[in-house]
Structure 1
Amino acid sequence: MTTPKIEPPCPIAAAHDRTPFGCGNPVLDDWLKQRALSSEGRSARTYVLCSGETVIGYYCLATGAEKRVGMPKKIRQGNPDPVPLIIIGRLAVDSRFHGQGLGAALLKDALTRAAAASEIVGARAVLVHAIDDKAVAFYAKAQFVEFPGGSRTMFLPIETLLAAISKE
């Protein structure tokens, strides 16, 4: 039996089988299975990585804004209040596929889409709320910086993102 090819991330659709997905975090699993489709286009856009029709990874993007108070100076300075942002709301890979670089591939795809969106809607940074310390380390490798105070809220200035993309 051959394993179906892993397709590039695409927008979530009803045809995608989310049932077997399990990343090891019930919050991330439940959101994909119960809320991703109903949120599509309303409050978030979800992109899935599939093997055949089975979802093996996903992330979601949304726009948002945060009050400048409490933000790091690099984002707070010279920006409106609230500061416009692109938010990576969730990012997860099925545990059967951990260790294959799929999380990094999903993040790269999310950041490429965020960069393109920033040219259309305007945003000062990409924001994530890392779910645990392992996620903090994952995002730090991609140049995200943690807000002061250990909140696990992290940001990547759009300028940093665009500069990194222009070097590719």
Structure 2
Amino acid sequence: MALLLAPEHIGPLEKAHDRKSFDCGNEDLNRYLREQARQDAEKRVAAPFVLTQPGAPKVLGFYTLSSSIIPAGELPADLMKRLPRYGQLPVTLLGRLAVDRLARGQGVGEFLLVDAMRRSLEAAQQIAAMAVVVDAKDAQAESFYRHFDFQPFQQTPLRLFLPMSQIAGLFA
């Protein structure tokens, strides 16, 4: 199935979206989308965004964004030198990102990540965030994010970040 990848095909999760048939191969992520994502959106603890195709409610991929904070001491020393000396710093958390098996191999993961970074950058104009942070679930996910220049935290290697200044450069 050839997919149309356009920004207008990604939007907030709605009741009309078909979540039940989503299968990314990870039951925790499947269950989250089916059972928890709408509640998180309603309670404003995470903002789920989904990729669909025109006229079709099936979710082909999704990600979530939320505000978070990180201990400044976990950042690399060279980056800490350039930041204010606060104990904690604001970030945008890319909490989950998953692609349905039917959509794999078509650039959907990259497309969703770029959209998440764009939305994070736009939000950072209103509510400060110095980076986008992800918690990679395994080495394969870590490799995916590192391909896009995400850097590991000093003490938590599967937790990665990309400074907002680098993200801004991608969209300049």
TM-score of the pair, normalised by structure 2: 0.89
In structure 2, what is the Cα distance between the partners aligned to 1:151 and 1:62? 21
Say if 1:66 and 1:83, in contact at 8 Å, map to a contact too: yes
Kindly tell me: are residues 4 and 85 of structure 1, through their superposed partners in 2, closer, same or farther at Cα, counting changes over 3 Å?
closer
Cα distance between partner residues in 2 of 1:19 and 1:74 = 45
Residue matched to 2:117: 111
Cα gap change, 1:74 to 1:54, in 2 (>3 Å): farther
Q: Could you tell me which residue of structure 1 aligns to residue 52 of structure 2? A: 50
Percent identity of paired positions between Structure 1 and Structure 2: 32
RMSD: 1.9
Tell me, in whole angstroms, the C-alpha distance in 2 between the residues paired with 1:157 and 1:8.
26
Letter in 2 for 1:25: N
Structure 1 gaps, min length 5: none
Task: Determine if the alignment matches structure 1 residue 127 to structure 2 residue 156.
Answer: no
1:141 to 132, 139, 147: 147
Which residue pairs with 2:71 in the alignment?
67
Q: How far apart are 1:3 and its partner, in Å?
A: 8.3
SS where residue 121 of structure 1 aligns? coil
CA contact (8 A) 2:150 2:160 kept: yes
The code of the aligned residue for 1:164 comes to L
CA change 1:136–1:158 in 2 (3 A) is same
CA distance in 1, matches of 2:19, 2:78: 39
The 8 Å contact of residues 48 and 58 in structure 1, kept in 2 or not, is answered as yes
> For residue 113 of structure 1, what is the amino acid of its counterpart?
R
Aligned 8 A contact 1:75 1:157 in 2: no
Distance, in Å, in 1 between the alignment partners of 2:67 and 2:116 is 13
TM-score by length of 1: 0.91
Q: Secondary structure at the match of 2:37?
A: helix
Structure 2 unmatched ranges of 5 or more: none
Aligned-partner Cα distance in 2 for 1:61–1:100: 23
